[in-house]
Amino acid sequence: MLRVELLTYTPDAEKVVAAAAKLCYAKSDIQTLMDGLTPEKTDSFLALLSSLGHESPVEHASYTFGVDGVSRALLAQLTRHRIASFSVQSQRYVDKSHFSYVVPPEIEAIPEAKAEFIRAMEEDAAHYEKLKQTLQAAHVRRLTEQGVDAKEAEKTAEKMANEDARFVLPNACETRLIMTMNVRSLYHFFNLRCCMRAQWEIRELAWLMLAEVKRVSPALFRTAGPSCVGGACPEGRMSCGRMAEMRARAEALGQTDETI
């Protein structure tokens, strides 16, 4: 099951961003700027900043998320967002003999498809286990013949076996990661991935992340979400036609416990 937790973020993020933006045009020193930014002034200035499209100051604030229960297929999409930091559970060092997996909703909804999908996952798991055992046994023999201590040979051989056995693991295999993005990168991420044209799993992740950041920094993420939240839909003829719904959903994140 997909889970998202905001682990940490820049302290006083909204005030830091407002101060960074004001500094460009102010004669006063930095501490005076910070001291003069009341919550009301910070909120007002961030609204002005958003309306002007001046985004470089928001790069001074960053947010770190713990993400669990996502597929390796999602990971391939997520790491295309290059202005970010990712730490991902390794299939090389972590034994995946009894791996969990993500079932797409469309497959879940059709009994015959779900049954076929589960059979494929069970077969992949069986192949992984067989490959791992075969490789590990071969590595142990070779290492002990080279004079490596039996206990050390077993430990080394297991890691070596994992490294190659993982090639049969499916895209559906679950993983977990910690990732950090600054606010400007998050704006771009939400623009693309909260959109109805985004793939379902990364769209669900994006909305969960948006809920987390709006909870702690509502002024910074006032107009964050799919592109249609802060402006016109860029999809042209491919538009989902649900702009009003998307805007209402994004706004509701700051007012309710809605998370997806």
Can you tell me the distance from the alpha carbon of 203 to that of 206, in angstroms, rounded to the nearest whole number?
Answer: 5
101 token code pair: 């997996």
The separation between CA 121 and the C-alpha centre of its own chain, rounded to angstroms, equals 24
Is the distance from CB of 209 to CB of 186 less than 8 angstroms?
yes
Catalytic-residue membership of 193: yes
Those residues whose C-beta lies under 8 Å from the C-beta of residue 136, and which sit 6 or more positions away, are 154, 157, 158, 160, 161
| Closest among 55, 77, 87, 44 to 183, alpha carbons compared | 55
Residue of 193, 203, 222, 249 marked catalytic:
193
Q: Examine the pLDDT at 256 and tell me if it is beyond 80.
A: no
Is the distance from CB of 128 to CB of 169 less than 8 angstroms?
yes
Enumerate the β-bridge partners of residue 87.
Answer: 178
Express each pLDDT in 27-85 by its tens digit. Answer: 778 888 888 888 988 988 888 888 877 788 999 999 999 999 999 999 999 999 999 99
The separation between CA 8 and the C-alpha centre of its own chain, rounded to angstroms, equals 14
Report, as an integer, the average pLDDT of 176-196: 97
Q: Tell me the pLDDT band of 254, cut-offs 50, 70 and 90.
A: low
The mean pLDDT value of the chain amounts to: 93
The half-sphere exposure of 189 on its side-chain side, counting CA atoms within 13 A, is: 28
Q: Tell me the pLDDT band of 200, cut-offs 50, 70 and 90.
A: very high
Q: Examine the pLDDT at 260 and tell me if it is beyond 50.
A: no
Range from 14-23, 58-67, 178-187, 194-203 carrying the lowest mean pLDDT: 14-23
The separation between CA 57 and the C-alpha centre of its own chain, rounded to angstroms, equals 23
9 to each of 59, 83, 169, 212, how far by Cα in Å? 12, 16, 34, 11
Q: Examine the pLDDT at 259 and tell me if it is beyond 70.
A: no
Express each pLDDT in 101-117 by its tens digit. Answer: 999 999 999 999 999 99
The half-sphere exposure of 29 on its side-chain side, counting CA atoms within 13 A, is: 2
Range from 50-59, 189-198, 250-259 carrying the lowest mean pLDDT: 250-259
> 46: burial class by Cβ within 10 Å (0-12, 13-18, 19+)?
buried
Can you tell me the distance from the alpha carbon of 171 to that of 174, in angstroms, rounded to the nearest whole number?
Answer: 8
Polymer length in residues for the chain: 260
* pLDDT of 26: 75
DSSP string, 60-89: G-EEEEEEEEEEHHHHHHHTT--SSEEEE-
3-class secondary structure, 169: coil
